[in-house]
Amino acid sequence: MTAPGRGEGDMNKAIKQEPLQVQAYFLPPGIEADVTVAARFDTPDGPAELLVPALNEDKLRSIADELKRRREEYLASLTTADVVERIAAAAERWLDPAYPHRQLAERLLPGLTGYAADSIRLQLKRYMRTFRKKELLRFIGEELDDPLMLDEFRPRKSGGFSRAYGPELIFHVFSGNVPGVSLWSLAMGLVARSAQLGKTSLAEPLMAVLFARSLAEIDPRLAEAIAIVPWKGGSRELESAAIASADAVVVYGGGGTVESVRAIVPAGKRFVAYGPKASVALIGREALTPDRLNGTVARLAADIAHYDQQSCMSPHCVYVEEGGSVDARSFAAYAAAELGRLQLRWPRSALTDSEAYAIHDVRNRYWLEEAEGGGAAVYASPGGTDWTVIYRDVPGFDVSPLNRTLVVYRCRSLEDDAVPALASCGREGLLQTCGVAVHPQRLFGMAERLGRIGANRLCPLGTMLQAKAGWHHDGRFNLIDLLRFADIERGTEDDAEQYDPDFE
């Protein structure tokens, strides 16, 4: 045998690869900025780094002014149909697996966000389908009886005419929890014919930038009214400057983010917030028959695994009704096994110490209760925090530490036990999506009860993260929240006739 290692040096030297530099910003033409490296992360093809522009108040103000100017020159003159065509055309590109921006997103997002590559790929394409033309039209039609109101004064059924105006400039504060969540907000703002200043989170600054580039491919002048810039949240000077320049502010994020921005938005300026929400699943005994059981568990577990429960639409807990082919305790064990399998398919992201601590804390609490003979049981991934299922024999509601931590509550009846257990969550304005698996005859009764306590979306298990275009996000309208209306009151147009010199 030759000496160990001989000849091994010619190939396979340690690979010293230059990092791929990724522009995590999108600025209108003519705006120059110094660029710095904000973050480094790994991709399957080697290291990458995020480039972000250096910003100060003046720079931000000049960006905002430029956006407004460009909007006035072009975007403001487009019709609703024009804008819908362009957004849909950009989305159609994203629905081609070979589209370079999509491929780039699929390569970069896993390393950047920690979410599993296959999960991101699946969720992104599902999401992009909601931007097809038919969906955009459905969405606008849901909110405006006559979408042409965005283009011109339109006759109203009650007489007179009305027209809707969007803000000149919208300042968005995007969250980084779910890739691409920024795109709806951008699309909505464009439909409102507003210039868009988006502040992204460094946790996921890419999708807004890539989509803006797609829009620029379709119509460069439209995209000139968009700027996407990341900065670290809480920078009072930058946020105040952006708010001062904008006439509407849209914020996505946790309670702290929403409140800190709300505090500096002057009264009278349009402020729309999508703050913290909690979602749950409710499973009736009829979904636990031997033929339905596998599917029920698989769909619930997928809702938990995608984006590691970080979406506001991800379930924190599940209420499992007695009387099916498995009891709630066995259901918990089954859900745990399924989460174990999904760990191989869509591995969970690495956690920060405090995130992991929160999971250990919950586990310890219920381990103790289990040991003391209480009605709890803990099913936990061995040697880590990959997944946790906690069984409790009395319905309740606690906010989950997330990252694939599920509480299974046993209940005798969903209507009589689960709904009351959720009432306080609803009162606090937290309750959002309810993934339900019940008989059709129960559905509307359940919806009535859940709606009354504050839930605003019932959907099938397995689709909890895929809200349909036109849904009442957090129970409200979305586009309408951004618009102001001008009316020509009934009779005014008739009255005007007499001022025509040719009148009678």
| Interacting residues with another protein (CB under 8 A) | 1-2, 4-8, 11-12, 14-15, 45, 97, 118, 122, 294-295, 298, 337-338, 341-342, 344-345
Q: Which residues contact 217 (CB under 8 A, 6 or more apart)?
A: 90, 93
Give me the least distance between CB of 121 and another protein, in Å please.
Answer: 8
Q: Are 189 and 174 in contact (CB under 8 A)?
A: no
Q: 385-410 as b/e, with b when 16 or more CB fall inside 10 Å?
A: bbbbbbbbeebbbeebbbbbbbbbbb
Nearest distance from C-beta of residue 10 to another protein, angstroms: 9
CB of 435 to another protein, least distance (A): 17
Q: Between 5 and 290, whose beta carbon lies closer to another protein? A: 5
Tokens of 358: 């929160």
Cβ neighbours, 10 Å, residue 207 = 26
Comparison of 77 and 294: residue with beta carbon closer to another protein: 294
Q: Which is nearer to another protein, 267 or 344 (CB)?
A: 344
Please give the Cα distance from 150 to 40 (Å, whole number). Answer: 43
Cβ 452 vs Cβ 476: under 8 Å? no
Q: Which residues contact 260 (CB under 8 A, 6 or more apart)?
A: 233, 234
The helix or strand, by DSSP H or E, that contains position 81, with its residue range, turns out to be helix 80-94
User: For residues 391 and 274, is the Cβ–Cβ distance under 8 A?
Assistant: no
Q: Which is nearer to another protein, 10 or 353 (CB)?
A: 10
Nearer to another protein, 41 or 139 (CB): 41
Task: Output the smallest distance, CB 126 to another protein, in A.
Answer: 9
Report CA 189 to chain centroid distance, whole Å: 16
Q: How far is the CB of 7 from another protein (least distance, A)?
A: 6
Q: Which is nearer to another protein, 15 or 263 (CB)?
A: 15
Cβ closest to another protein, residue 343 vs residue 424: 343
Cβ at position 1, least distance to another protein in Å: 3
Per the CB < 8 A criterion, the answer to whether 195 and 70 are in contact is yes
Using the CB atoms, write b or e for 275-303: b if 16+ within 10 Å. bbbbbbbbbbbbbbeeeebeebbbbbbbb
Q: Minimum CB separation from another protein for residue 105, in Å? A: 15
Q: Pick between residue 5 and residue 501 the one whose CB is nearest to another protein.
A: 5
To another protein, the closest distance from the beta carbon of 95 in angstroms equals: 13
Q: Which two tokens stand for residue 27?
A: 């600025």
**Which tokens in the block code for residue 222?**
């439209």
Instruction: Measure the CA–CA gap between 112 and 41, rounded to whole angstroms.
Output: 6
